[in-house]
């Protein structure tokens, strides 16, 4: 029996995880659920899954959640200590890391240190703290399974003979990784008109239904940039061995090229329940509820290079990936702050990446030897981004 903690259970990945879990009551038990502020949704999940622990943002929300739960025997905790307690609960052996952004780093890292099975959706945690995170995984013997659809696809296309946390692919004849990207909602929109797109337009992803942050990241393709850095750490390949390919249909979720001329791909419906079920069931396969991909209905599968004039975020992410150290954390922090300003309609869409660029060029990269150095860089980049953004607003 796998006993699960879902960090970010009220989000898109969180809800999809509960959907898969509910199909297998004999295999999984929900031990802890965490949310930020959506307490009504969290309360409904608690009534359905009876977790031991539920975590919310602060004491006031915890009080409100307790009232909603009435007699239910779920302990309500809050804040970062609550998230850590949820991960560390003695019966939890599997942690779905599905908090969005840097907020997920500490509890996810804690799960790595504690040697749990980690289903990693929260790519920002790995982008920020790649070497420290992977080091923790190696030392504790934690199982790290990628949930991001591209990384999950690559994982499935790599040799399965190794344990999940000892990835040494050059030895297996891997030449390069190919990350596919849909191109988002603005793939064909005239570049000169991108200045005027609204948050709702940017969040209207053609193929995937996701949270607002990752949806905007998919439009700018910063998502693919973050995924490139995520793949570097997960699979221990250098930046120049990862290609980004636009594939608007989102049927092929990513590929691995081998030195013998083979190109292995994973295909499926664009539904996150497939990678989630893979992570939950590994090394076995379980039913995910995802409808079968009907090859007969596939008309065209198209592929093209990403135009960096349309998607300058890719250049910035590659730069941060090459610089390593605290650069990926700086890139990520600046992006989170600028994207939030865009969602609040305080800046234009095109200014998101301009701000990230300015922050990356002005906040010096340091060697990332400790978690503190990463958190310092994150804070510095946020402060710098806010300064620039305030200037743009006035």
With CA atoms as reference, report the closest residue to 118 among 134, 96, 139.
96
Q: Judge contact between 236 and 172, C-beta under 8 A.
A: no
362 binds, among Mg ion, ligand NAD, none (CB under 5 to 8 A by kind): none
373 binds, among ligand NAD, Mg ion, none (CB under 5 to 8 A by kind): none
Q: Find the residue with minimal CB distance to ligand NAD.
A: 11
List interacting residues with ligand NAD (CB under 6 A): 8-14, 35-36, 38, 98-100, 103, 121-124, 148, 208, 210-211, 213-214, 272
Report the nearest approach of ligand NAD to the CB of residue 140 (Å).
Answer: 22
Report the nearest approach of ligand NAD to the CB of residue 38 (Å).
Answer: 6
124 binds, among Mg ion, ligand NAD, none (CB under 5 to 8 A by kind): ligand NAD
Report the nearest approach of ligand NAD to the CB of residue 286 (Å).
Answer: 19
Q: Judge contact between 326 and 365, C-beta under 8 A.
A: yes
172 binds, among Mg ion, ligand NAD, none (CB under 5 to 8 A by kind): none
Report the nearest approach of ligand NAD to the CB of residue 227 (Å).
Answer: 9
Distance CA 267, CA 261 (A): 19
211 binds, among ligand NAD, Mg ion, none (CB under 5 to 8 A by kind): ligand NAD
Report the nearest approach of Mg ion to the CB of residue 58 (Å).
Answer: 31
Report the nearest approach of ligand NAD to the CB of residue 226 (Å).
Answer: 7
**3-state SS record for the chain:** CEEEEEECCCCHHHHHHHHHHHCCCCCEEEEEEECCCCHHHHHHHHHHHCCCEEEECCHHHHHHHHHHHCCCCCEEEEHHHHHHHHHHCCCCCEEEECCCCHHHHHHHHHHHHCCCEEEECCHHHHHHHHHHHHHHHHHHCCEEEECCHHHHHHHHHCCCCCCCCCCCHHHHCEEEEEEEECCCCCCCCCHHHHHHCCHHHHHCCCCCCCCHHHHHHHHHCHHHHHHHHHHHHHHCCCHHHEEEEECCCCCEEEEEEECCCCEEEEECCCCCHHHHHHHHHCCCCCCCCCCCCCHHHCCCCCCEECCCCCCCHHHHHHHHHHHCCCHHHHHHHHHHHHHHHHHCCCCCHHHHHHHHHHHHHHCCCCCCCCHHHHHHHHHHHHHHHHHHHHHHHC
Cβ proximity to Mg ion, 143 vs 150, nearer residue: 150
Q: Find the residue with minimal CB distance to Mg ion.
A: 148
Cβ proximity to Mg ion, 149 vs 164, nearer residue: 149
Report the nearest approach of ligand NAD to the CB of residue 111 (Å).
Answer: 14
Cβ proximity to Mg ion, 105 vs 222, nearer residue: 222
Cβ proximity to Mg ion, 148 vs 378, nearer residue: 148
Cβ proximity to Mg ion, 124 vs 150, nearer residue: 150
List interacting residues with Mg ion (CB under 5 A): 148-150
Cβ proximity to ligand NAD, 148 vs 340, nearer residue: 148
Cβ proximity to ligand NAD, 38 vs 373, nearer residue: 38
272 binds, among ligand NAD, Mg ion, none (CB under 5 to 8 A by kind): ligand NAD
208 binds, among ligand NAD, Mg ion, none (CB under 5 to 8 A by kind): ligand NAD
Report the nearest approach of ligand NAD to the CB of residue 148 (Å).
Answer: 4
Cβ proximity to ligand NAD, 107 vs 358, nearer residue: 107
């Amino acid at each position: 029996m796998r006993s699960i903690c879902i960090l970010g259970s009220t989000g898109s990945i969180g809800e999809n995880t509960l959907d898969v879990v509910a199909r297998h009551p004999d295999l999984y038990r929900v031990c802890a659920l965490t949310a930020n502020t959506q307490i009504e949704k969290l309360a409904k999940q608690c009534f359905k899954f009876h977790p031991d622990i539920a975590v919310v943002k602060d004491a006031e929300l915890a009080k409100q959640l307790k009232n909603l739960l009435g007699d239910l025997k779920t302990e309500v905790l809050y804040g970062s200590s609550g998230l850590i307690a949820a991960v560390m609960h003695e019966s939890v052996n599997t942690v779905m890391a599905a908090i969005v952004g840097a907020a997920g780093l500490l509890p996810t890292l804690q799960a790595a240190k504690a040697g749990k099975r980690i289903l990693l959706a929260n790519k920002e945690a790995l982008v920020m703290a790649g070497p420290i995170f992977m080091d923790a995984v190696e030392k504790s013997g934690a199982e790290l399974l990628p949930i991001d659809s591209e990384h999950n696809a690559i994982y499935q296309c790599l040799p399965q003979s190794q344990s999940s946390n000892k990835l040494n692919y050059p030895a297996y004849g891997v030449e390069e990784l190919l990350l596919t990207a849909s191109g988002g909602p603005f793939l064909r929109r005239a570049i000169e008109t991108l200045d005027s797109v609204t948050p709702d337009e940017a969040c209207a992803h053609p193929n995937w239904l996701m949270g607002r942050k990752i949806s905007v990241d998919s439009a700018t393709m910063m998502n693919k940039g973050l995924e490139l850095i995520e793949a570097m750490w997960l699979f221990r390949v250098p930046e120049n061995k990862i290609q980004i390919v636009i594939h608007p249909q989102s049927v092929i979720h990513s590929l691995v090229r081998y030195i013998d001329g083979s190109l292995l791909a994973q295909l499926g419906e664009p539904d996150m329940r497939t990678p989630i079920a893979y992570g939950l069931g590994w090394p076995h396969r379980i039913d995910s509820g995802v409808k079968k991909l009907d090859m007969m209905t596939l008309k065209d599968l198209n592929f093209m290079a990403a135009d960096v004039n349309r998607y300058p975020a890719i250049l910035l992410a590659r730069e941060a990936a090459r610089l390593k150290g605290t650069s990926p954390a700086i890139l990520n922090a600046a992006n989170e702050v600028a994207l939030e300003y865009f969602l609040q309609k305080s800046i234009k869409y095109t200014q998101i990446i301009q701000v990230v660029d300015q922050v990356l060029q002005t906040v010096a990269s340091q060697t990332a030897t400790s978690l503190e150095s990463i958190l310092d860089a994150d804070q510095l980049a946020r402060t710098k981004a806010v300064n620039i953004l305030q200037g743009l607003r006035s």
